[in-house]
Amino acid sequence: MVSAGDAALRRRVQHQIIGGRKNMAKEEIFDKLKELVVDQLGVEEDEVTMEASMQDDLGADSLDLVDLVMSVEEEFGVKVADEDLENIKTVGDIVNYIEDRA
């Protein structure tokens, strides 16, 4: 027989496994996003800061941003609405967006 405590523990573990990114700290989000940006845009790690402009500092064009958003959606399990994409200008904007929705 499963106790109420065991059932609650099982639900928490399942939630952590299924929603694995839910409890990520901002630093973890930034580190993983940095990997994606470096891989996709071919920039150096030290160029990727919270303040870095995706277009001006990192040289991303609109197609790069679409590809990056698709990777972000897959990696972090968030959906980025088209209208929200217009407000994302910096790496920090993406980190905050993920943190608010993950």
Residue 37's CATH number: 1.10.1200.10
Q: What whole-number distance in Å separates Cα of residue 18 and Cα of residue 34? A: 23
**Could you tell me the residue range of the domain that residue 48 belongs to?**
24-101
Does 13 map to a domain? no
Does 14 map to a domain? no
In this predicted model, what pLDDT tens digit does every residue of 81-94 receive, in sequence order?
A: 989 988 999 999 99
With both helix axes pointing from N to C terminus, report the angle between 26-41 and 62-76 in degrees, rounded to the nearest 10.
140
61 carries an active-site annotation: yes
Does 76 map to a domain? yes
Q: What whole-number distance in Å separates Cα of residue 95 and Cα of residue 33? A: 8
In this predicted model, what pLDDT tens digit does every residue of 18-58 receive, in sequence order?
A: 444 456 899 999 999 999 999 999 999 999 999 999 999 99
Q: What whole-number distance in Å separates Cα of residue 89 and Cα of residue 52? A: 8
Does 61 map to a domain? yes
Does 15 map to a domain? no
Number of structural domains found in the chain: 1
Predicted local confidence at residue 17, as pLDDT: 44
Does 16 map to a domain? no
Q: What whole-number distance in Å separates Cα of residue 13 and Cα of residue 101? A: 20
Q: Out of 56, 61, 67, 100, pick the active-site residue.
A: 61
